A and B are shown apart, each in its own frame.
Chain A
């Protein structure tokens, strides 16, 4: 294998990364699920022929460590039985997926009839069947209740849709029309990836591009090792808790021990809770994603994300635990909630080693809201899914940001004017919650209150959230942020709701979601009077 000179390499590196980004543009602009098009809950990546991640676009972090598992599952399933024009889909969390709504499409790429790599993208679909619309029910007790499980299967073969399989998948979901549109968009994205890689291969020699891919992986590893060596060689442990699993288990511990070595960082999760009945379980690849996210944040995020970047990272999580679940444990919330707690606990461990690089706890939940039912205007099924931002944790030298998504997600909100025309819903209030940021020399960001009126009879609301008992913690004597809370208003009656629940709602019922504020940093008494004054006139504290 020849090595590229540093200049040709830089040029090739930029091309490969931009291919992954181009794929994202196509997916976003031509998809149908609000989750994909408005909220950007997707990721796109390129892999080499041995299934190693070469380039991943800056999409959402929760897919970071999980995509390679999908590609490996495809390789394992199909071995040499892959041809140009094949597109394989997967969503089974126990066969290379994360949670069921995330459907990954993997497409082998060929050049002159030889396999050169894979284009892959993962997108969160609005519904994949299961007990509740949106497939994010908090009350599932096993993965089969959460929706259709798709083990690696060719949905397009040689460029032609596999009609029977497509029909089979589509008849197991609530909004088949939208699913079909999204699958087409996912395929279009991979086609763009393959086309652009093809152009690159045509321009340079194939062997140059292939060895360039490997070199990119080595390059990231080398940079990551440099960054690791700059960190103090220390070890630190931390524990944080999930509130509950919706089935009676409460104060569920997630434990980590972080050890920074000369050439690696080890993350050891033993002592974390056994897997739970409710859907808070994370599969191993989700835990990897969370750890990788933290590592990128505290080292150097400009190191290209690929297999090499993560080679020096060792993650051990005992199987059968909440951070490495085994079938048939339900997992819908592992991806969104537990992943976030894994980030929190890992940052907490790092806080005693590199306090200036971390932040106090952010809201620590995604506040998953799903509302589904029959739209009285059309007589058709609708499924609306939204995650609601909260406070960002305060930092060593600045306040946390108000009303913003943190850590494992960065999905956009659905514009109110768009959602009111698309769904039988009406938003009554969308505002920052005064005083919700944890006090401190630097205060935590504020949480959000969002009130949504349901306009369809017999709708189903599913809620899944966290940080309603265990508040987002502060650092260095900073105070905790305020907890989240959910409630429903029926007529004049307000009923508090638990953080994981599914309920039915009728026209006129109003769902209130209050999201947690971020933790503070430093003693509150040391806050400057200028900052105190600003917050007062702005009604923020």
Chain B
């Protein structure tokens, strides 16, 4: 296929595979999958691009933009494969990073440990200075001491430095001065200033965010430079963008300065695509079921739900993140509620003969028993194979043959026998538990936030998402499920659909009644200027910029804030009062009560600046449209019944194709199971839309 128009390229580097998806505006689509090259991920990425240009004969000159997502950040942090970094704090506070919130991640574990601090004590330095909570300078910065510290760090050969002084969100002057001293004394050092990155109160979380950023800076600037350079060499002169955890993209040069914003780029991209494929729906739940976890995200009306409580490498307890188990990063992250259930989740029976699924996963190696790579433990994938929900020949386009015999044996030995039931019932048990737990994650993502899932559309993707989506939807009484084309590649597709987005925050801590509207307006204007500057460099025109403003508010005396969107226009007393009314309303929805008699505090001023980037109009032409064979096999459903079903090939379905369950629709990297009574229709984007 020869493209005649501009091309967008999305590259998603995961733990095992690097996926490339490219699309032109005539709806030509290319997919390339290569192995990830862990020591230097840019090698694999560039290899994928080379294949696109050479094998697919795509003209490099037509490439208009390359958008990238990577797990590089979390891998580096969790394996400790990070450069030496230094931290500068206010005198008396260098251990804040290590003490954290002083709690332990596990209550009943005497062998408990914390993740090691990213900057060991020997590289944490203090400078004399003090600013108060309201920004007054109590003690000036000791510049000669600061100079000595900077020289010392230079002599130690440490090339990246985090600066985080107490109350710098209220007055950044000392941090800025310190930055100047470092630039003078240690000009090659990369600096991360907390007051520039995240002018938000709570010293531990801000310090942690700044330190994570400092540790990632050298890695990302090298890596992104290499990638850009490599693209140039291949004749691709297009700008390189990187996906951020906030669900928008950023130009690589800026990304290299704030790499702590990129940590969740991959999973977030999938959610972005799910929004696209549910076009027309006002509120959706995205469900990504992978090998070890399921992730649920929510779009309601104005945007994705975001969280400010994210920790890199944090552990899960049910559907909750265990606080204090990872490294906090306080940039807004698209809120994906996670649960430890995926295709590789191991089913096991405990001492009291109760069946569990997960959170242990068989991973890629040895993998589920049916992979025949030596895995003996039954997984959700094995149970699905036993139940006829999965074909033995179709996973990964037929590259991998699954062994029903091994799956059957594993389920029989480790599930059915100890439970004294037959193998089918054992496998159905595994399925039911998995579905219930995934439903639990969806419930946490919706009901707990005051949203009614029954009014929402479930968009399912990931290798295993479509296999369970309909039954998960039934649990929550949801009526519609959408399965996008190439559900297994949705993250990279999402990259093609993402737009530049810049968020800012500033702590103000003011009573809503006495807050100066002028001051708020000034802060918002400053944020807008900065974001416009970034968007300008990213090639977004003024008319294509949209701007959302929020006030994070709480009742005076509370500790958690709710973000309330503001109307457009100049900030006036009226605008603030209406936001306060919205806050009471939101508090009622979220927590079941409100207190209109209590004064409300504005904690943070927050904004999002989004640029329309003229994304591809749709990615639908993914499939060669050909007649596929229709097969039949017996498939078991949740109720326990085995039913003879038709099995269709996804690429034999056209927009407008319709039918009803029970049936199975097989794609090259995922399988959609449609239960009895449900009806489906293929829409013009190629998504299968199912009415439960």
Binding site for B on A (CB under 8 A): 6-11, 13-15, 17-18, 21-22, 25-26, 28-32, 34, 37-38, 40, 58, 60-61, 177-178, 181, 184-185, 187-188, 191-192, 219, 222-223, 226, 293, 296-298, 301, 347, 357-359, 388-389, 392, 395, 398, 401-406, 410-413, 415-418, 420-421, 426-432, 448, 451, 537-540
Q: How far is the CB of A206 from chain B (nearest CB, A)?
A: 19
At the interface, is chain B mostly helix, strand, loop or mixed? loop
Q: How far is the CB of B427 from chain A (nearest CB, A)?
A: 11
How long is the Cα–Cα vector from A80 to B355 in the complex, in angstroms?
38
Asked if A30 contacts B591 (CB within 8 A), the reply is yes
- With A7-B355, A403-B102, A420-B132 given, can you name 12 additional A-B contacts, CB distance below 8 Å? A9-B354, A10-B355, A30-B587, A30-B591, A192-B592, A298-B110, A401-B114, A411-B102, A412-B101, A417-B203, A430-B95, A448-B99
Please, which residues of chain B bring their CB within 8 A of the CB of A187?
593
A-B contact pairs, 28 of them (CB 8 A): A6-B419, A8-B432, A10-B355, A11-B432, A11-B433, A14-B440, A18-B318, A22-B448, A32-B557, A38-B559, A181-B595, A185-B593, A219-B352, A222-B351, A296-B108, A297-B109, A301-B107, A389-B102, A402-B99, A410-B107, A411-B102, A411-B103, A413-B99, A416-B96, A416-B203, A420-B167, A421-B509, A448-B99
How long is the Cα–Cα vector from A360 to B591 in the complex, in angstroms?
42
Which of A7, A29, A406, A413 is most buried by chain B, counting CB atoms within 10 A of its CB?
A7
Which residues 488-547 of B sit at the A interface, judged by CB distance below 8 A? Answer: 509
How long is the Cα–Cα vector from A204 to B559 in the complex, in angstroms?
37
Q: Which of B96, B133, B167, B555 is the one whose CB lies under 8 Å from A181?
A: B555
At the interface, is chain A mostly helix, strand, loop or mixed? helix
Asked if A418 contacts B353 (CB within 8 A), the reply is no
How long is the Cα–Cα vector from A373 to B112 in the complex, in angstroms?
38
How long is the Cα–Cα vector from A8 to B101 in the complex, in angstroms?
39
Asked if B133 contacts A293 (CB within 8 A), the reply is no
Q: Which residue of chain B is the closest to A409 with respect to CB atoms?
A: B103
Q: How far is the CB of B347 from chain A (nearest CB, A)?
A: 11
How long is the Cα–Cα vector from A487 to B5 in the complex, in angstroms?
75
Which residues 73-117 of B sit at the A interface, judged by CB distance below 8 A? Answer: 92-96, 98-99, 101-104, 106-114
Please, which residues of chain A bring their CB within 8 A of the CB of B109?
297, 301
Q: How far is the CB of B368 from chain A (nearest CB, A)?
A: 20
How long is the Cα–Cα vector from A28 to B560 in the complex, in angstroms?
8
Asked if B400 is an interface residue, CB under 8 A from chain A, the answer is no
How long is the Cα–Cα vector from A166 to B114 in the complex, in angstroms?
43
Q: How far is the CB of A519 from chain B (nearest CB, A)?
A: 13
The 3 closest A-B pairs by CB, nearest first: A301-B108, A429-B92, A37-B559
Asked if B320 is an interface residue, CB under 8 A from chain A, the answer is yes
Please, which residues of chain A bring their CB within 8 A of the CB of B350?
223
Asked if B204 is an interface residue, CB under 8 A from chain A, the answer is yes
How long is the Cα–Cα vector from A415 to B433 in the complex, in angstroms?
40
Asked if B355 contacts A398 (CB within 8 A), the reply is no
Q: Which residue of chain A is the closest to B448 with respect to CB atoms?
A: A22
Q: Which of A10, A297, A411 is the one whose CB lies under 8 Å from B433?
A: A10
Which of B101, B166, B317 is most buried by chain A, counting CB atoms within 10 A of its CB?
B101
Q: Which residue of chain B is the closest to A421 with respect to CB atoms?
A: B133
Asked if A26 contacts B99 (CB within 8 A), the reply is no
How long is the Cα–Cα vector from A226 to B351 in the complex, in angstroms?
8
Asked if B113 contacts A398 (CB within 8 A), the reply is yes
How long is the Cα–Cα vector from A192 to B95 in the complex, in angstroms?
39
Please, which residues of chain B bring their CB within 8 A of the CB of A359?
110-111
Please, which residues of chain B bring their CB within 8 A of the CB of A37?
558-560
Please, which residues of chain B bring their CB within 8 A of the CB of A421?
133-134, 201, 509
Asked if A58 contacts B99 (CB within 8 A), the reply is no
How long is the Cα–Cα vector from A532 to B193 in the complex, in angstroms?
33
Asked if B202 is an interface residue, CB under 8 A from chain A, the answer is yes
Asked if A401 contacts B429 (CB within 8 A), the reply is no
Please, which residues of chain A bring their CB within 8 A of the CB of B320?
21
Which of A297, A357, A431 is most buried by chain B, counting CB atoms within 10 A of its CB?
A431
Asked if B302 is an interface residue, CB under 8 A from chain A, the answer is no
Please, which residues of chain A bring their CB within 8 A of the CB of B106?
301
Known A223-B351, A537-B122; judge A404-B560 contact (CB<8 A). no
How long is the Cα–Cα vector from A451 to B318 in the complex, in angstroms?
38
Q: Which of A58, A431, A432 is the one whose CB lies under 8 Å from B107?
A: A58
Q: Which residue of chain B is the closest to A410 with respect to CB atoms?
A: B103
Q: Which of B95, B351, B558, B590 is the one whose CB lies under 8 Å from A431?
A: B95
Please, which residues of chain A bring their CB within 8 A of the CB of B111?
359, 395, 398
Please, which residues of chain B bring their CB within 8 A of the CB of A451?
92
Asked if B184 is an interface residue, CB under 8 A from chain A, the answer is no
Asked if B110 contacts A404 (CB within 8 A), the reply is no
How long is the Cα–Cα vector from A357 to B110 in the complex, in angstroms?
7
Known A184-B595, A410-B103; judge A34-B559 contact (CB<8 A). yes
Which residues 108-148 of B sit at the A interface, judged by CB distance below 8 A? Answer: 108-114, 120-122, 132-134
Known A30-B558, A297-B110, A402-B98; judge A222-B352 contact (CB<8 A). yes
How long is the Cα–Cα vector from A31 to B98 in the complex, in angstroms?
28
Asked if B437 is an interface residue, CB under 8 A from chain A, the answer is yes
Please, which residues of chain A bring their CB within 8 A of the CB of B433?
7, 10-11
Q: How far is the CB of B132 from chain A (nearest CB, A)?
A: 7
Asked if B64 is an interface residue, CB under 8 A from chain A, the answer is no
Asked if A32 contacts B437 (CB within 8 A), the reply is no
Asked if B448 contacts A25 (CB within 8 A), the reply is yes
Asked if A26 contacts B592 (CB within 8 A), the reply is yes
Asked if A188 contacts B593 (CB within 8 A), the reply is yes
Please, which residues of chain A bring their CB within 8 A of the CB of B351?
222-223, 226
Q: Which residue of chain B is the closest to A203 with respect to CB atoms?
A: B475
Q: Which residue of chain B is the closest to A30 with respect to CB atoms?
A: B591
Please, which residues of chain B bring their CB within 8 A of the CB of A11?
432-433, 436
Please, which residues of chain A bring their CB within 8 A of the CB of B318?
14, 17-18, 21
Asked if B249 is an interface residue, CB under 8 A from chain A, the answer is no
Asked if A31 contacts B558 (CB within 8 A), the reply is yes
Asked if B354 contacts A219 (CB within 8 A), the reply is yes
